[in-house]
Structure 1
Amino acid sequence: MSIESTIPLLFRERVRCYPDVVAQTWKDSSGSFVRRSYRELYGDVLDMAEALRGLGVKRGDLVGLISDNRREWLIADLAVLALGAADVPRGCDSMEKEIAYILSTTECRIAFAENRSQLHKILALRSEMPLLSRVILFAEPAIADAEAAREAGIELLSFHAVLAQGSVARNGAVDELESIMKAVKSEDVATVIFTSGTTGEPKGVMLTHGNYTWQLERIPQVLHVEPGDMWITVLPVWHSFERLMQYIILERGSGMAYSKPVASIMLPDIAAIKPQIIPGVPRLWEALAAGILRTVRKEGGAKKALFLFFVAVGRRWCSARDLVFGRVVRFTPRIRLFDTLLGLLPWLLLSPLRALGDVLVFRKVRARLGGRVRICISGGGALQNEVDSFYQAIGLNMLEGYGITETAPLLSFRDQWKPRPGCVGKIFAETECRIVDAEELERVVEEANGGAWRAPYELGPGKNGVILVRGGQVMKGYYKRPDLTSRVIDAGGWFNTGDLGMLSYDGEIKITGRAKDTIVLRGGENVEPAPIERAIKGFPLVESVVVLGQDCKYLAALIVPAKDALLAWAQENDIPCEDYESLLENPAVVQLFRSEIDARVNRQTGFRPFEYIFRFSFLGDSFQVGKELSGKQEMMRHRILELYREEILLLFAE
Structure 2
Amino acid sequence: MSFKQIDFGPTKTHKTVHADGSIRLRLEQPLANYPEKLTEKLVYWAQTKPNQTFLARRNAAGVWVEYSYEKTLASVKSIAQYLLNQQLGPDDTLVILSENSLEHALLALAAMHVGIPYSPISPPYSLISKDLGRLQHCLECMSPKVIFAQDSQVYSRALSLAKSLFPDAVIMTASEGSNSINFADVLTTVPTDAVEQAFASVTSDLVAKVLFTSGSTGLPKGVINTHRMWCANLQQITQVFPFMTTEPPVLIDWLPWNHTFGGNHNVGLALYNGGTLYIDDGKPTPPGIETTVQNLREISPTVYFNVPKGFEMLISYFERDPELCKTFFARLNMLFYAGASLAQPIWNRLEELAMETIGTRIPIITGLGCTESGPSAMFANWGGSFSGLLGVPVAGMDIKLVPDGDKLEARYKAPNVTPGYWRNADATQNAFDEEGYYKTGDAVRFHVEDDPDKGLVFDGRIAEDFKLSTGTWVNVGILKAKIISAGAPIVQDVVIAGLDRAYVGVLLFLNADACRRLANLPTELPDKEVLVHPSINDFVDALLIVLNKTAKGSSERVERALVALDPPSIDLGEITDKGSLNQRAILKHRAELVNQLYNCK
| TM-score, length of structure 2 as denominator length | 0.69
Aligned ranges 1:155-234 → 2 under 5 Å = 156-164=180-188, 166=189, 169-170=190-191, 173=192, 175-197=193-215, 200-223=218-241, 224-225=243-244, 226=246, 228-234=248-254
From the superposition, tell whether residues 435 and 47 of structure 1 become closer, same or farther in structure 2 (CA, over 3 Å).
same
Of 347, 354, 363, which aligns to 1:397? 363
Aligned ranges 1:368-407 → 2 under 5 Å = 368-369=327-328, 371-393=330-352, 394=354, 395-407=361-373
Of 242, 258, 264, which aligns to 1:238? 258
Bigger drift between 421-430 and 118-127 goes to: 118-127
Would you tell me which structure has more helix in proportion to its own residues? Answer: 1
From the superposition, tell whether residues 16 and 121 of structure 1 become closer, same or farther in structure 2 (CA, over 3 Å).
same
1:479 aligns with 2:422: yes
From the superposition, tell whether residues 108 and 502 of structure 1 become closer, same or farther in structure 2 (CA, over 3 Å).
same
Of 494, 497, 518, which aligns to 1:558? 497
Bigger drift between 179-188 and 196-205 goes to: 196-205
Q: Give the % identical residues.
A: 20
Q: Deviations over 1:555-601 (max 9, x none)?
A: 54638999xxxxxxxxxxxxxxxxxxxxxxxxxxxxxx999x969x7
- The one-letter code sitting in structure 1 at the alignment partner of 2:278 is A
Query: What is the CA–CA distance in structure 2 between the aligned matches of 1:254 and 1:484, rounded to whole Å?
Result: 37
Higher relative contact order (CA 8 A, sep 6+): 2
1:73 aligns with 2:16: no
- SS of 1:369 mapped into structure 2: helix
Which residue of the partner structure matches residue 271 of structure 1?
297
- The one-letter code sitting in structure 1 at the alignment partner of 2:225 is L
Of 417, 421, 433, which aligns to 2:386? 421
Bigger drift between 427-436 and 239-248 goes to: 427-436
Query: What is the CA–CA distance in structure 2 between the aligned matches of 1:468 and 1:19, rounded to whole Å?
Result: 41
- SS of 2:452 mapped into structure 1: coil
Q: Give the deviation of 1:74 after TM superposition.
A: 1.2
Query: What is the CA–CA distance in structure 1 between the aligned matches of 2:379 and 2:217, rounded to whole Å?
Result: 33
1:46 aligns with 2:77: yes
From the superposition, tell whether residues 70 and 401 of structure 1 become closer, same or farther in structure 2 (CA, over 3 Å).
farther
Number of corresponding residues: 456
Whether the 8 Å contact between 1:559 and 1:617 is mirrored in structure 2 is: no
For the aligned residue pairs, the C-alpha RMSD in angstroms reads: 3.4
Whether the 8 Å contact between 1:270 and 1:370 is mirrored in structure 2 is: no
Query: What is the CA–CA distance in structure 2 between the aligned matches of 1:388 and 1:17, rounded to whole Å?
Result: 39
| TM-score, length of structure 1 as denominator length | 0.63
Q: Deviations over 1:83-135 (max 9, x none)?
A: 21111111211132212111112211211112235632334434762365222
- SS of 2:497 mapped into structure 1: strand
Query: What is the CA–CA distance in structure 1 between the aligned matches of 2:566 and 2:64, rounded to whole Å?
Result: 43
Bigger drift between 368-377 and 233-242 goes to: 368-377
Which residue of the partner structure matches residue 430 of structure 1?
396
- SS of 2:103 mapped into structure 1: helix
- The one-letter code sitting in structure 1 at the alignment partner of 2:205 is E
Q: Give the deviation of 1:190 after TM superposition.
A: 0.8
From the superposition, tell whether residues 374 and 5 of structure 1 become closer, same or farther in structure 2 (CA, over 3 Å).
same
Aligned ranges 1:109-508 → 2 under 5 Å = 109-116=145-152, 119-126=155-162, 129-130=165-166, 133-138=169-174, 140-143=175-178, 146=179, 156-164=180-188, 166=189, 169-170=190-191, 173=192, 175-197=193-215, 200-223=218-241, 224-225=243-244, 226=246, 228-243=248-263, 244-259=265-280, 260-261=282-283, 262-293=288-319, 295=320, 366-369=325-328, 371-393=330-352, 394=354, 395-415=361-381, 418=383, 420-422=385-387, 423-439=389-405, 464-504=407-447, 505-507=451-453, 508=455
- SS of 2:390 mapped into structure 1: coil
Q: Deviations over 1:159-197 (max 9, x none)?
A: 112222x2xx32xx5x43122112111111111111123
- SS of 1:477 mapped into structure 2: coil
Whether the 8 Å contact between 1:561 and 1:619 is mirrored in structure 2 is: no
- The one-letter code sitting in structure 2 at the alignment partner of 1:558 is A
Whether the 8 Å contact between 2:89 and 2:116 is mirrored in structure 1 is: yes
Whether the 8 Å contact between 1:413 and 1:427 is mirrored in structure 2 is: yes
From the superposition, tell whether residues 230 and 62 of structure 1 become closer, same or farther in structure 2 (CA, over 3 Å).
same
Could you tell me which runs of 5 or more consecutive residues in structure 1 were left unpaired when the two chains were aligned: 147-155, 297-360, 440-462, 519-545, 563-592, 623-654
Query: What is the CA–CA distance in structure 1 between the aligned matches of 2:434 and 2:147, rounded to whole Å?
Result: 36
Query: What is the CA–CA distance in structure 2 between the aligned matches of 1:198 and 1:490, rounded to whole Å?
Result: 21
Query: What is the CA–CA distance in structure 1 between the aligned matches of 2:570 and 2:36, rounded to whole Å?
Result: 43
- SS of 1:125 mapped into structure 2: helix
Which residue of the partner structure matches residue 642 of structure 1?
none
- SS of 1:93 mapped into structure 2: helix
Q: Deviations over 1:198-257 (max 9, x none)?
A: 894221111111111111222222212145542112111110011121111111011111
Which residue of the partner structure matches residue 85 of structure 1?
116
- SS of 2:366 mapped into structure 1: strand
Whether the 8 Å contact between 1:100 and 1:128 is mirrored in structure 2 is: no
Could you tell me which runs of 5 or more consecutive residues in structure 2 were left unpaired when the two chains were aligned: 1-31, 355-360, 466-474, 485-491, 502-561
Which residue of the partner structure matches residue 336 of structure 1?
none
Q: Give the deviation of 1:435 after TM superposition.
A: 2.1
- SS of 2:298 mapped into structure 1: helix
Whether the 8 Å contact between 2:300 and 2:327 is mirrored in structure 1 is: no
Query: What is the CA–CA distance in structure 2 between the aligned matches of 1:594 and 1:110, rounded to whole Å?
Result: 44
Query: What is the CA–CA distance in structure 2 between the aligned matches of 1:366 and 1:195, rounded to whole Å?
Result: 35
Query: What is the CA–CA distance in structure 2 between the aligned matches of 1:55 and 1:467, rounded to whole Å?
Result: 44
Q: Give the deviation of 1:547 after TM superposition.
A: 11
Query: What is the CA–CA distance in structure 2 between the aligned matches of 1:16 and 1:399, rounded to whole Å?
Result: 33
From the superposition, tell whether residues 561 and 621 of structure 1 become closer, same or farther in structure 2 (CA, over 3 Å).
farther
Query: What is the CA–CA distance in structure 1 between the aligned matches of 2:411 and 2:133, rounded to whole Å?
Result: 33
Query: What is the CA–CA distance in structure 1 between the aligned matches of 2:324 and 2:155, rounded to whole Å?
Result: 42
Query: What is the CA–CA distance in structure 2 between the aligned matches of 1:37 and 1:550, rounded to whole Å?
Result: 44
Query: What is the CA–CA distance in structure 1 between the aligned matches of 2:166 and 2:328, rounded to whole Å?
Result: 48
Which residue of the partner structure matches residue 59 of structure 1?
90
